[in-house]
Structure 1
Amino acid sequence: MSIETLIAQYGLAAIFLGAGLEGETAVVTGGVLAHQHLLPLWGTAAAAVGGSFAADQVFFLAGRRYRDTARVRKIAAKPAFAKALDTLERHPTIFILGFRFLYGLRTVSPIAIGTSHVPARTFLLLNAVAAAVWGVLFTGIGYLFGDTLLDAVHSIMPKHKLAGVAILAVVIAGVSGAIRFWRRRQSNTATSRKS
């Protein structure tokens, strides 16, 4: 089975899952694959929107349903959680529309919102709008800048464009993960110093 066949069969499902679990890297990669005509552009954007929307709804519902459990209380003890709640109290609509664009607050924010008094229907509507903007924006970035990204990959790996796209996605995900780890570590160090 060729890589093109695998992408055609499982690409949209991978983007749906990647949008919900990982974020921008998966969606931009989907845009690049759409640029290469390996995936349909609007299908890719819809998978990105759907994955982001579904994941944030699940996190919101988990915060709402399990707010008094030890697991959610442990998450609530993190500085990012307090920051999310503070911003939510001051600007609820703007925060719900924008949290997925704020680095370091993407996963914790819908849980924090779930523990708040924001009505489920309000979150559902604002989450749908924000997911649509986010999914289309990052798919569009991958699609519009696909040539530039692929040229960079082609200069490194001239005969293996698709493998290069996969390596590019892994590198971007690795750098993003390293930045998250470093920020989390800095936050934990700052919290330890305050104690």
Structure 2
Amino acid sequence: MSVTRLLADYGYLAVFAGCLLEGETILLLAGFAGHQGHLSLPLVLAIAFIGGALGDQIFHWAGRAWGTALLGRIPGFHERARRVIALLKRHDALLIVGIRFMYGLRIVGPIAMGAVGLSPRRFSVFNVVVAAIWAPLVGGLGYLFGHAVEALLGDVARFEEVALALIVAGAALFALIHARLRARSKSKDPE
């Protein structure tokens, strides 16, 4: 089965699942796929909005229910959560908006916000607003990237299989390097 067929069959599900978590990479790729005609860009953006907003709401709720225990059990979250909490006390609205664009804090941020008792109503309002900004911004960047690549290379369709394979290989390599660096830093940290 070709990568293009997989994208057409499971692309929207991948966008939703990816946007429940961090989501930027999958949304950029989906925006690019929208440019190529494999996915509908408006549908990608709507799914990304729903997945992104819902994911952060779930993490905020989890933070309210099990925040302190959860943050203490996940390696690396405790220090990040402490920074989020310190910022939250001073700038809650800016932090709710900004956390979506801060790599590595998109999950721990809403959990920490829930753990310190940030109003669910306040969080929800800002979360929906920022998801409505984030989805078209990131998905649109992927779409514009498709235009740029097409302007440089012409018909991109002949490069799609190779490009997607390189992207998947690059993502796997990044994940492997990241995991090794985390393991190395964890072994150096006294507990």
How many angstroms does 1:116 deviate by?
A: 1.4
- The 5 A counterparts of 1:107-126 are 107-126=107-126
Q: Which amino acid aligns with 1:118?
A: L
Q: Is the 8 A contact 1:29 1:165 kept in 2?
A: no
Q: Are 2:42 and 1:42 aligned?
A: yes
- For structure 1, the residue ranges without an aligned partner over 5 or more in a row are none
The residue that corresponds to 2:14 in the other structure is 14
Counterpart of 1:104 in 2: which secondary structure?
coil
Match of 2:175 among 177, 180, 190: 177
| Structure 2 residue identity aligned to 1:73 | G
Residue 9 of structure 1 deviates from its aligned partner by 3.5
- Are the counterparts in 2 of residues 96 and 123 from structure 1 also a CA contact under 8 Å? yes
Deviation of 1:170 (Å): 1.9
Partner of residue 161 from structure 1, selected from 132, 137, 159: 159
Map 1:54-133 onto structure 2 (within 5 A). Answer: 54-69=54-69, 71-75=70-74, 78-133=78-133
Shifted more, 3-12 versus 59-68: the winner is 3-12
> Matches of 2:64 and 2:78 in 1, distance apart?
18
CA RMSD of aligned residues (A): 3.0
Cα distance in 2 for residues equivalent to 1:51 and 1:113:
19
Hey, what's the Cα distance between the residues in 2 that align with 1:176 and 1:130?
Answer: 27
Partners of 1:167 and 1:150 in 2: CA distance: 18
Identity of aligned pairs, percent? Answer: 34
1:50-76: CA deviation from partner (whole Å, max 9, x where unpaired): 11111111111111111353x343249
Per the alignment, residue 31 of structure 2 pairs with 31
Q: State the one-letter code of the partner of 1:105.
A: L
User: CA 1:82–1:188 in 2, change beyond 3 Å: closer, same or farther?
Assistant: farther
- Structure 2 gap segments, 5+ residues each: none
Partner deviation per Cα, 1:153-185 (whole Å, 9 max, x = no partner): x79xx8753323432442453465367547756
TM-score normalised per structure 1: 0.80
Displacement of 1:33 after TM fit?
0.5
- Do 1:150 and 1:165's aligned partners in 2 also have CA atoms closer than 8 Å? no
Identify if the C-alpha distance between structure 1 residues 108 and 180 changes in structure 2 by more than 3 Å, giving closer, same or farther.
farther
Cα distance in 2 for residues equivalent to 1:87 and 1:186:
28
Tell me which moved more, 29-38 or 171-180.
171-180
CA contact (8 A) 2:77 2:108 kept: no
For this pair of structures, how many residues does the alignment match? 189
TM alignment of 1:132-147, pairs within 5 A: 132-147=132-147
